[in-house]
Amino acid sequence: MSYSWERIKNILIKEFIQVLRNPRLRLLLFLPPLFQTLVFGYAVTSDVRNISIALYDLDNTPASRELVRDFTYSKYFTVKKVIYTDREEKDLIDHAEVNAVLNIERGFGRALVAGRTAPVQLIIDGTDSNTAAIILNYAGQVIEEYSMRTAPLELKKFPQLDLRPRVWFNENLESRNFYIPGVIALIVTLITLLLSSLSIVREKEIGTIEQLIVSPIRPAELILGKLLPFVLISLFEVILVTVVAVFWFNIPLRGSLLLLFGATLVYVLTTLGVGLFISTIAKTQQEAMMSVFLFIFPAMLLSGFVYPIANMPVWVQYITYLNPLRYFLVILRGIFLKGTGINILWPPLLVLLVLGLSILYLSSLRFKKTLG
């Protein structure tokens, strides 16, 4: 018995009809990608602005007021409250009403006039370690500037190192330029994994898989017919997110669109392979869905999507080499932000191809076995 394109086509058409006939499901192919892109575009920002602080100025001399003014007019800090007691200080931080309290002790101005070093205390809510670190950094800058301004004249005459940073690829350090290309990977992964694994498990659950087994269709044809529609759907999602990214959020797309589609095709080999694998182990759609989650959660966290891989412990870094999402993200960000072409991106593409083909092959073997 030979392979028949006719049989593959029939399955393919049936899958398309099944996904697209339900108006709510149709909507769900549009809405989540849009929603996710908007959320990541607007809500996900690691840029810390408007740090709210409270002022606790016990000194109240011209010198202390000048320091307070420096904090008030710096672009990072917003003064939310002026307080007068220790109790208020503790309460504000406990209730997370402010991020930090600037505490100027009595004697600050006198120390400055006398040429002694004047201490200033900054109490920071460390609950959010990342924000706290950034606050520390900004406060240090404000103090340093104040220090240099009030320093004795002779100090200012010394030669200075003049740092001139230049940021490439994302000149304004916009978080969304970093995250939105990653959203493509997230959506493609989610859609292909869910649709492929659930659609096969549903046949098992409802019992229609037995009809398919007794039909002349061959397992390979069944797999192709089942998976191809989702490849097309994932390409559609890529276009959708890219359009929103470029035209709504002005994310630069500096590389080739063709390469973007090509890379997506190579990438979905792995996710469809995993989806197929899940469909062989799960007996119900509920099981399949939890398995998808079991895969996608670590895959997302260990991909560099949000957390840089370089900051992870070394043994975790080794695990990430097995994560297809990691390579796809490198490719996506390369294409979008750096405009790199295949001459630079071929190694991750090759790894994806090898990973994808082997996962798909192994899952197909298992799938055939469970069918029989």
Partner 1 sequence: MMALVIPYDFSRQLEAGKPSPVQLLVNGSDSNTAAIALGYVSAVTQSYNRKMVETELAKSGRKLLLPVDLRPRVWFNPELKSRNYIIPGLIAVIMMIIAALLTSQTIAREWERGTMEQLISTPVSVPELILGKLVPYFVIALLDISIAVAMGEFVFAVPLRGSILLLFTISSIFLIGVLGLGILISVVTKTQLLASQLALLATFLPTFILSGFIYPIANMPVAIQLITYLIPARYFISILKSLYLKGGGIRFFWLDIIYLLLFMVLMIGLANRKFTKRIA
Residues 130-159 binding partner 1 (CB under 8 A) are: 130-134, 136-137, 139-141, 143-144, 146-147, 150-151, 155, 157-159
Q: Please, which residue, 103 or 280, has the CB nearer to partner 1?
A: 103
Interaction residues for partner 1, span 339-358 (CB under 8 A): none
CA 303/CA 325 separation, integer angstroms:
6
Q: Which residue has the tokens 């070394």?
A: 314
Q: CB of residue 261 vs partner 1: minimum separation in angstroms?
A: 21
When asked if residue 28 is in the footprint of partner 1 (CB under 8 A), the reply is yes
Q: CB of residue 49 vs partner 1: minimum separation in angstroms?
A: 6
Tokens of 166: 């230049």
Binding residues with partner 1: total (CB under 8 A) = 100
Binding test (CB under 8 A) with partner 1, winner from 250, 284, 317, 370 = 284
Q: b/e for 168-192, b at 16 or more Cβ within 10 A? A: eebeeebebbbbbbbbbbbbbbbbb
Q: Please, which residue, 4 or 127, has the CB nearer to partner 1?
A: 127
Q: CB of residue 28 vs partner 1: minimum separation in angstroms?
A: 5
Q: CB of residue 262 vs partner 1: minimum separation in angstroms?
A: 21
CA 316/CA 328 separation, integer angstroms:
18
CA 260/CA 282 separation, integer angstroms:
32
CA 186/CA 267 separation, integer angstroms:
12
When asked if residue 171 is in the footprint of partner 1 (CB under 8 A), the reply is yes
When asked if residue 31 is in the footprint of partner 1 (CB under 8 A), the reply is yes
- Polymer length in residues for the chain: 372
Which among 172-180, 213-221, 238-246, 318-326 is the span making contact with partner 1, rule CB under 8 A?
172-180
Task: Give, as one character, the DSSP assignment of residue 155.
Answer: G
Q: Tell me the per-residue interface mask from 63 to 102 with partner 1, x by CB under 8 A, - otherwise.
A: ----x-------------------------xxxx--x---
Q: CB of residue 204 vs partner 1: minimum separation in angstroms?
A: 12
Q: CB of residue 93 vs partner 1: minimum separation in angstroms?
A: 6
CA 194/CA 363 separation, integer angstroms:
16
When asked if residue 194 is in the footprint of partner 1 (CB under 8 A), the reply is yes
> DSSP letters of 186-242?
HHHHHHHHHHHHHHHHHHHHHTHHHHHHHSS--HHHHHHHHHHHHHHHHHHHHHHHH
